[in-house]
Amino acid sequence: MKYCSVCGSLTVKKIPEGDNRERDCCENCGTIHYSNPKIIVGTIPFKDSSVLLCKRGIEPRYGKWTLPGGFLENGETVAQGAFRETLEETNTEVEMKDLYAIFNVPQINQVYMLYRANVVSNDYAPTTESLEVQFFKEDEIPWEELAFPFVPIVLKNFFSDLKKGEFPLTTHTIERKK
């Protein structure tokens, strides 16, 4: 950040008093500008023994399959954001279930929070964000065409848990290999 979004003055990088990290600070108005991780919310929409996946119609990973999800907006709860993103990407409403998986992705400053969600009607369809929307059973998943590293992890866990009938909350960390 070069300029303060409060007063427009130049910022400097420094460790503010009482802090332990370098921040963008405005020496004119005293504002400390914090940069925090983005929250990504989504669902694992399912019906019977199938999950509803979206073929991305936007970058990044255009044309690859993924679960519906996106950035949490201000003023939303995590569940509300996951519901909205699912509607935006699948054109269908879902019945929200429990929080199912949390993924920490520190190298890109993101945290993913995914809910299980029952698909309640067959009105799903492509949207401006999805080229295709389709149900897949476990043996039909296009494993080599999945968009992001968290997708195969959560799908494998989901299908395993589906067989057991138990869906414990899990946390994962995805880090780039050095």
Percentage of residues in the chain having pLDDT higher than 70: 99
Range of the domain at 132: 38-173
| CB contact at 8 A, 133 and 91 | yes
Does 48 lie in the same domain as 18?
Answer: no
Q: What is the CATH number of the domain that holds 61?
A: 3.90.79.10
pLDDT digit string, tens, across residues 23-42: 999 999 999 999 999 999 99
Q: What is the CATH number of the domain that holds 25?
A: 2.20.70.10
- Please, which pLDDT band fits residue 176 given cuts at 50, 70 and 90? confident
- Please, which pLDDT band fits residue 178 given cuts at 50, 70 and 90? low
Decide if 178 is inside a domain.
no
pLDDT for the residue 39 = 98
Does 144 lie in the same domain as 97?
Answer: yes
pLDDT digit string, tens, across residues 112-160: 999 999 999 999 999 999 999 999 999 999 999 999 999 999 999 999 9
Decide if 132 is inside a domain.
yes
Does 93 lie in the same domain as 29?
Answer: no
When computed from its CA atoms, the radius of gyration of the chain, rounded to whole angstroms, is 19
Does 55 lie in the same domain as 84?
Answer: yes
Percentage of residues in the chain having pLDDT higher than 90: 98
Q: How far apart are CA 91 and CA 23, in angstroms?
A: 41
Number of domains in the chain: 2
Does 49 lie in the same domain as 16?
Answer: no
Cα dihedral across residues 159, 160, 161, 165: positive or negative? positive
Tokens standing for residue 69: 């999800």
